[in-house]
Every structure is written in structure tokens, then in C-alpha cells.
Amino acid sequence: MRWLRLLLVVLAGLLAFFQYRLWVGEGGSRSVARLEQQVQQQTRENTGLQQRNDALAAEVEDLKSGEAAVEERARSELGMIKPGETFYRVVEPEGSAPVAQPEGDVAAAEPVENPAP
């Protein structure tokens, strides 16, 4: 009878130990939940980076195959214009704060002719 009581105490102790490891210990439910959260965060980050990579790949392909993208980039980044086009530079009066004007209003613009090569 004494050995039965001892066996019951040992089994209860083992049950408590395993329950502790299941809920709190390494590899337990808290650890699994934390890892699942990290996986979701990494998945979101990977999705964003994949979209960025796809956009960059499309831009590279466009630059390799078409002149339109090269021309657009030259116009926006380098300020280049085609022969025969007129370039307008907007000059703000000195000492005054910039005033927002509706688009198309060229009253304060001065044309700069592009000589044909």
C-alpha cells in the first residue's frame, strides 16, 4: 500500500513537471505563439520586399527594352529637352515667399529656347 502511495506521488510530480514544460518551458505554447508571430511578421516583410523586387525588375526590363523609359528618366532627373522644344523656367521674385499658382499659369515664366543641334 505504501508503494502505491509513493507511485501516485511520483506520477503526480511527473504530471506537474510535464504540464509546466508544456505551458511555460522551452518549446511550450508561449514559445510556439511567439514563433508564429515572428513567422507572420517575416511573411509580411517578405511580401513587401517581393513587391519591391518585382517593381525594380519591371523597371530594369523597361529600361533595357524601351526608349520611352530612358527618355522619361532623362527628362525628370537630368532636365533634358528635345530639339525644338521650349523649356520654361519659373523664376520667383527675390525676397517674397513662394506663391502657389494654378498649373498652366505661365505669367512668371521665361522661355529658354533649345537650339537645334
- Contact between 117 and 85 under an 8 Å Cβ cutoff? The reply is no
Range with lowest mean pLDDT among 1-15, 30-44, 56-70: 56-70
- Prediction pTM value: 0.41
**Domain coordinates in residue numbering, the chain:** 2-113
pLDDT band at 27 (very low <50, low <70, confident <90, very high): confident
pLDDT band at 76 (very low <50, low <70, confident <90, very high): confident
Q: Is the pLDDT of residue 23 over 80?
A: no
Q: Quick one: average pLDDT of 26-50?
A: 90
pLDDT attached to residue 106 = 47
Tell me how far CA of residue 36 lies from CA of 9, 44, 52, 64, in angstroms.
36, 12, 24, 41
Question: Residue 28 — φ and ψ, nearest 5°?
Answer: -80, -170
In tens, the pLDDT along 86-102 reads 877 788 888 766 555 55
Q: Which residue has the cell 520611352?
A: 68
Using a 10 angstrom Cβ sphere, with 0-12 exposed, 13-18 middle and 19 or more buried, the burial of residue 4 is exposed
Of 38 and 92, the structure prediction assigns the larger pLDDT to 38
